[in-house]
Amino acid sequence: MSGVEDVRAAYERLSEAFSLDAVPSVVARIDRLKALSRAIGEKQEELVAAVSADFNPRAEAETLTAELAFTQETIRHTIRNLPKWARPRRKRVLRPVPGRTEVWVEPKGVVGVLSPWNYPLQLALVPLIAAVAAGNRVLLKPSERSPHSAEALVNLIGGVFPGDEVAVLTGGPDVAEAVTRLALGHLFFTGSTATGRRVALAAAETLTPVTLELGGRSPAVALPGASPKHHARMIAWGAWLNAGQTCVAPNHLWVKKGTEDAWADALLSHAKGFFPNDYSGMIDSRASDRMTAMLDEATARTRVLPAKADVAHAPRVVIDPPPGSVLLEEEIFAPILPILTYGDPSEVIAAERGRSPLAAYVFDRDSAAALAFLKRFRSGGGMVNGTVLHLAAHDLPFGGIGESGYGAYHGQRGFREFSHERAIFTPSQGPWLKMLAPPYAATARKIFRLMAR
């Protein structure tokens, strides 16, 4: 366990090691990423067991795919593209001033990563990979709610990176708060909107730039042309992956009035596929108690349909919860999917107006119609006829908007998030330079007038 005093010691160690003269070469960064990839492969069983111990259990297939395979593919994608991303961009220009421009891509220095518990490996390692690829030193603080995974990260990263390149700090909220108060080159936070606001306020004191990857009540919309037979499987998978503890899970599903029972039956039918071996636990009693409270409120006011599984936190579908319900006001982050009904799709646009979820999903057998509908309301990202999988497209930037956060990462966007793009200009030499300073000749004044038209 780390204490607040360890935060300062780690920060000073990393800061002393960082300078633009000591930035690792691209080749050296790639070697570190290759070493990290090998270590993940060698420790695969240990990492799977650690995550499962935190969730009691975590479905093995979910950890292998959404945590480890995702991270390994991130490393491979980064290694393939890093030489191109890190290359200075040079260009000859004639206007408005002739010369040569250069953009140098430089690390920001010591950066902080505050990672969450719901995907405790992937959401710690993927931003760390981007930060290391950009040449930074990294201070990583995993969530205290996934202690086994945090300890596994300490062992994994400690075996790959020297202590003056990456430091992993365990501990509670006081340690995370201490990280937010450091004068960092960049701070990357994944978590709730409420905590994100506090992180941003703390970082503002030192003018530390921040990336906030927050939550958001991500809607799924089944347009009239959508079909429970064709589309319920993908919605059910996204909603109940990791027992609903996914930041881009469908938070609620809009369906045409009169079709809600057909959708509920189809969704709960697909829920059977998670059992007995592929369904994850809730992270802790705090999450379970919150789910119970939401279900108690919903059961007293509307229909709650459970999946047929001998698990206390089995998936539920809630039909048209009334206005003011917690299910309609908060990000659910549990295996509960409210079904809301509409008469005309324009009602969905009106209901979602003013919100800025992390993702939005639209379903229709006419994918062009679904895409056109998706354009009518905003979100951090989204999909047509699918859920969650847009995260796996490494060339797509992933991030929120408004209450779901700001900044983005994945692929080149992540590399740029942790980089400073330094603009350099070298003017062409010649007599024209004399025109730039007074006294201005008549010819210069004429040129100024032409340029200002």
For 364-373, how does the pLDDT look when each residue is reduced to its tens digit (9 = 90+)? 999 999 999 9
* Residues 239 and 327 both lie in one domain: yes
Residues 59 and 204 in one domain: yes
Segments forming the whole domain that contains residue 137: 4-214+401-422
Instruction: Identify whether residues 352 and 407 lie together within a single domain.
Output: no
Question: Which tokens in the block code for residue 128?
Answer: 């760390």
> 373 near 395, Cβ under 8 Å?
no
Question: Do 181 and 262 belong together in one domain?
Answer: no
The CATH number of whichever domain residue 238 belongs to comes to 3.40.309.10
252 with 161, same domain?
Answer: no
Q: Are residue 231 and residue 191 in the same domain, yes or no?
A: no
Residues 116 and 68 in one domain: yes
How confident is the model over 251-273, as a mean pLDDT?
97
Give strand pairing partners of 140: 113, 168
- Residue 350 belongs to a domain: yes
- According to the model, what pLDDT value does residue 1 have? 66
Whether 286 and 202 map to the same domain: the answer is no
Q: Is the pLDDT of residue 190 over 90?
A: yes
Buried b (16+ CB within 10 A) or exposed e, 59-74: beebbeebbbebbbeb
* Residue 147 and residue 177 share a domain: yes
Put the strands of the sheet holding 99-107 in their side by side order: 89-93, 99-107, 419-427
The reply to whether 443 falls in a domain is no
- pLDDT tens string 401-417: 999 999 999 999 999 99
CA atoms within 13 A on the CB side of 17: 20
Q: Are residue 167 and residue 101 in the same domain, yes or no?
A: yes
Q: Which of 409, 419, 398, 414 lies closest to 86, judged by CA?
A: 419
The first and second tokens of residue 104, run together, are 């140098």
Positive or negative, the CA dihedral 52, 56, 60, 66 is negative
296-299, long-range: CB < 8 A, 24+ apart: 297/325, 297/326, 297/327, 298/325, 298/327, 298/336
Task: Provide the number of structural domains found in the chain.
Answer: 2
Mean pLDDT, rounded, of the chain:
96
Residue 442 is assigned to a structural domain of this protein: no
Predicted confidence (pLDDT) at residue 431 exceeds the cutoff of 80: no
Residues 60 and 144 in one domain: yes
Residues with catalytic function: 213, 247
Q: Does some domain include residue 453? A: no
**SS3 of residue 451 by DSSP:** helix
In this prediction, residue 94 has a pLDDT band, given cuts at 50, 70 and 90, of confident
Is residue 366 situated within a structural domain? yes
**pTM metric for this prediction:** 0.96
- In this structure, the answer to whether residues 53 and 115 fall within a common structural domain is yes
Q: Domain for residue 265, yes or no?
A: yes
